[in-house]
C-alpha cells in the first residue's frame, strides 16, 4: 500500500514537473514568438517608411510635371493669342492696302 502511495506521489510530482517544464517551454516559445513578431513589425515599419518616402518623391515629381505642363499650356495660349493678334493686324493692313489701291 505504501508503495502505491509513494508511486502516486512520484507520479503527481512528475506530472507537476512536466507541466511546469511545458509552461516554461511555452513561455520561452512565447517570448521567442514575441521577439520574432517585434522584428517583423520593425521590418514592416521600415518597408512602410520606404514606401511612403517613394510615394512622396513620386508625388513631388508628378506635381513638378503638372506645373511644367501648366506653364507650357500658358505659354501656348499666349503664343496663340499673339498669333491671332498678328493675323488680325495683317488682315487690317491688307484691307487698308486694298482701300488705298
Q: How far is residue 54's CA from residue 58's CA, in Å, rounded to a whole number?
A: 6
pLDDT reported for residue 5? 81
pLDDT reported for residue 24? 85
pLDDT reported for residue 2? 66
Q: How far is residue 67's CA from residue 20's CA, in Å, rounded to a whole number?
A: 69
CA atoms within 13 A on the CB side of 95: 6
pLDDT tens string for the chain (101 positions)?
667 887 888 888 888 888 888 888 878 888 888 899 999 999 999 999 999 999 999 999 999 999 999 999 999 999 999 999 999 999 999 998 888 87
Three cell numbers, residue 11: 507520479
pLDDT reported for residue 19? 87
Amino acid at each position: 500500500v505504501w508503495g502505491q502511495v509513494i508511486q502516486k506521489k512520484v507520479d503527481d510530482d512528475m506530472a507537476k514537473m512536466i507541466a511546469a517544464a511545458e509552461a516554461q517551454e511555452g513561455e520561452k516559445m512565447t517570448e521567442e514568438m514575441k521577439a520574432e513578431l517585434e522584428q517583423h513589425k520593425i521590418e514592416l515599419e521600415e518597408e512602410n517608411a520606404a514606401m511612403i518616402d517613394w510615394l512622396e518623391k513620386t508625388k513631388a515629381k508628378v506635381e513638378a510635371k503638372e506645373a511644367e505642363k501648366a506653364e507650357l499650356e500658358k505659354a501656348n495660349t499666349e503664343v496663340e493669342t499673339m498669333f491671332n493678334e498678328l493675323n488680325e493686324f495683317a488682315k487690317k493692313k491688307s484691307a487698308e492696302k486694298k482701300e488705298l489701291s
